[in-house]
Amino acid sequence: MPRCGCQTAKTGDSTFVISFSRISCISRCGNFLNSKLKTKNSKLATALLGWFAVHARDLPWRRTRDPYAIWVSEIMLQQTQVKTVIPFWERWLRELPTIEAVAKADSAKIHKLWEGLGYYTRVRNLQMAAQQIVNRRRDEFHESPAKNQVRDSQRSSLRNLPAKFLENYDEVLALPGIGRYTAGAICSIAFNQPTPILDGNVIRVLTRLFGIAENPKEKAANARLWQLAEELVSHAKTQRRKKNNSPLRAFAPLREDNSCSHLNQSLMELGALVCTPRNPQCLACPVKKLCVAFAENRVDELPNLGKREAATARHFLAFAVECGGNFLVQQRPAGVVNAHLWEFPNVEITGTKPDAPAAFQKIFGVKPKVIQPLRTVKHSITRYRITLEAFFVSLAKRPAKTNGRWLAPAEFDSIAFSSAHKKLASAAAKSILSGR
Ligand code: SF4
């Protein structure tokens, strides 16, 4: 009988070893170890579900099983913190309460509702996916034999049935903007399917729980993590209803029809609240007795994310050009970062001494008489550390050959700016009020 505590497993085209000790296993471990892993996963599922029932945060999208609302929350939560997302999610659901409403909303509206969340490709993909779902509903109606058997009045009401979000995992995965994680999250949370999830929080929790030393981006380690996530959520499927005495948790009682949903959310929640990147609260952790990293004092080493790519500094000069109380703003083209959003004219500069008047002349073909510093905004996009240095320029006459719109500050709210340029818009509006 093997003593090492390891198990070999095959996922796709890769074979890997799940190690419960620091001794490497070179033999096939057999049923004994399979049952050991099953026992550990079963205990983990029980402990996580019990903990989640008491400690889950009361988030608005946890009060609904509407797949559309859950889908929107999952897309907004990509790359964005929970507290930032809440007001955006509430406003989105108020303004666009159905899939049809998203499908037919105009581009300016969806960008305005997303303004400030960043990563705007998400919102365009969301709309494309909504359009696909609505078109699919229309095709299903036209292909339906029942269509010819109903009276005209019934036909129109059938045609107007609301488009339903898809329940099939592969079909959800095929929608624009939805990857394996998001498809798993939607299908488990909205439909209680045992579909695994693996995001940054879950990777951190699982690598520590199972003592996985390999970089989770590597193919074999990644496959192993997905398999562990799948095994855990499958165990949850068999969990029975538990008594939950917490009066605050009426919104999250564990039922047989939400155990997969709760298991996946418990992994994310544990990563967000307890098993944090720095200073994890191991002593308060509900699964510390099952955690390899805790037992072996390796918590700080895991996950092994390798070396971070160094950030690249970039410097832009922007111009709040005012003429007759209006400012020139321009829309970013399709296919670039922050596509379709609005901004003040700007240019990237290289070298150590930025020459704002020369840059202005290069863009507008005229030399500014007076150019005054307006505001500097520093921010990061992906691996870029960006400095946006803005200047105020007042002109008596609009320059020829300028693209864009001239807007009064009161009209700024009608268009969607990128976050950095939103700050410049506010500074530009104040500059007019202060009679600069
Ligand atoms: Fe994370 Fe510590 Fe809990 Fe292990 S014991 S899962 S490292 S918080």
Quick: pLDDT tens for 98-129.
Answer: 999 999 999 999 999 999 999 999 999 999 99
Q: Which of 74, 115, 231, 269 is catalytic?
A: 74
Query: CA 262 to CA 239: how far, in whole Å?
Result: 11
Which strand (E) or helix (H) includes residue 15?
strand 14-18
Percent of the chain scoring above 70 in pLDDT: 83
Tell me the H-state helices in 252-330.
Answer: 259-273, 292-295
Any atom of ligand 1 within 6 Å of the Cβ of 282: yes
Nearest residue CA, atom 5 of ligand 1? 288
Selection from 203, 253, 407 nearest residue 320 by Cα: 407
Rounded to the nearest angstrom, the distance between the alpha carbon of 277 and the centre of ligand 1 is 10
Q: In this structure, what DSSP letter does residue 105 have?
A: S
Q: Ligand 1: does its nearest atom lie under 6 Å from the Cβ of 204? A: no
Which residue out of 203, 208, 232 has the highest number of ligand 1 atoms within 8 Å of its CB and is therefore the one to mutate? 208
Residue 25 has what pLDDT? Answer: 38
Residue 421 confidence (pLDDT): 97
192 in Cβ contact with 65 (< 8 Å) = no
Structure-block tokens of residue 194: 């045992």
Residue 245: per-residue pLDDT: 52
Question: How far apart are the CA of 21 and the centre of ligand 1, in A?
Answer: 17
Residues whose CB is less than 8 angstroms from the CB of residue 110 and which lie 6 or more positions away in sequence, other chains included: 96, 102, 123, 124, 126, 127
4: left (phi over 0), alpha (psi -120 to 50) or beta: alpha
- From the CB of 421, is ligand 1 less than 6 Å away? no
The better pLDDT of the pair 434, 129 is held by 129
Element (H, E) at 16: strand 14-18
Residue ranges with strand state E in 366-417: 372-381, 384-394, 405-407
Is the CB of 209 within 6 Å of ligand 1? yes
Section 25-52 average pLDDT: 75
Testing ligand 1's pocket by substitution, the residue of 282, 300, 301, 302 carrying the most ligand atoms inside 8 A of its CB is 282
Question: What number is the average pLDDT over the span 76-103?
Answer: 97
Distance from the alpha carbon of residue 50 to the mean position of ligand 1, in angstroms: 16
Of 23-27, 55-59, 340-344, which gets the smallest average pLDDT? 23-27
Across the range 311-336, mean pLDDT stands at 95
User: The pTM is what?
Assistant: 0.83
Ligand 1 centre from 36 Cα, in Å? 20
- Catalytic (active site) residue 90: no
Q: How far is 399 from 323, CA to CA, in rounded Å? A: 9
Closest CA to 270 of 41, 72, 49, 40: 49
pLDDT for 79 beyond 70: yes
String of DSSP letters for 321-380 = EEETTEEEEEEPPTTSTTTT-EE--EEEE-SSS--HHHHHHHHHSS--S--EEEEEEEEE
For the chain, the average pLDDT equals 87
pLDDT band at 75 (very low <50, low <70, confident <90, very high): very high
The Cβ-side half-sphere exposure at 95, using a 13 Å CA radius, reads 18
| Cβ 280 under 6 angstroms from ligand 1 | yes
Least confident of 8-12, 30-34, 170-174: 8-12
Cβ of 166 closer than 6 Å to ligand 1, yes or no, is: no
Q: Is the CB of 274 under 6 A from ligand 1?
A: yes
Ligand 1 centroid from CA 127, angstroms: 38
- What's the one-letter identity of residue 174? A
Does the beta carbon of 377 sit less than 6 angstroms from any atom of ligand 1? no
